[in-house]
Amino acid sequence: MPWLRNLARGVLGGFLIFAGTAHLTFARDEFDAQVPGWVPLDTGFVVVASGVVEIVLGVALLALYRHKVLMGWIVAAFFVAVFPGNIAQYVDHRDAFGLDTDTGRLIRLFFQPLLIAWALWCTGAWAALRRRRTRDDRAVV
């Protein structure tokens, strides 16, 4: 069902653009809570820079159809890269985005792997990897 993957890719691209815009505007304080204390950069800079990256990734997911598999891997890597911020929010007991309990912050941690899987599925990155492995396995035999 390619139409479903394309729809999911469009929704993910829109989500990234929205989240990136939120970084730059109305939710800056909320995103500040997710920057781990050990990051050696100014928190405000990290929030703005990650917001710009999210906007660029969202636009790229929507516009670079011919490179969607590569974009899937890049977006998945971005979600992996920002995961320590979610962990820091949980470990440091920082309230943000309505997550004002440890249980809420813990539950949120389980959504990051889903975002990673979403990026890999909707761009066909997983399918491309499976096809390549199958092709490589056949070549060895």
> pLDDT, tens digit, for every residue of 40-74?
999 999 999 999 999 999 999 999 999 999 999 99
Looking up tokens 């917001």, which residue turns up?
Answer: 51
User: Alpha-carbon distance 70 to 74, whole Å?
Assistant: 6
Structure tokens given for 93:
């007991």
Looking up tokens 């309990």, which residue turns up?
Answer: 101
**Structure confidence at residue 138 (pLDDT):** 63
* The amino acid at 132: R
**Structure confidence at residue 70 (pLDDT):** 96
Over the Cα atoms of the chain, what is R_g?
Answer: 17
Cβ proximity of 76 and 112 under 8 Å: no
**Structure confidence at residue 136 (pLDDT):** 62
Q: Half-sphere exposure of 131 toward its Cβ, with a 13 Å CA cutoff? A: 6
Count helices and strands in the chain by DSSP H and E runs:
7, 0
User: Alpha-carbon distance 15 to 17, whole Å?
Assistant: 5
User: Alpha-carbon distance 125 to 104, whole Å?
Assistant: 31
Query: pLDDT at residue 83 above 80?
Result: yes
Q: What mean pLDDT is reported for the chain?
A: 92
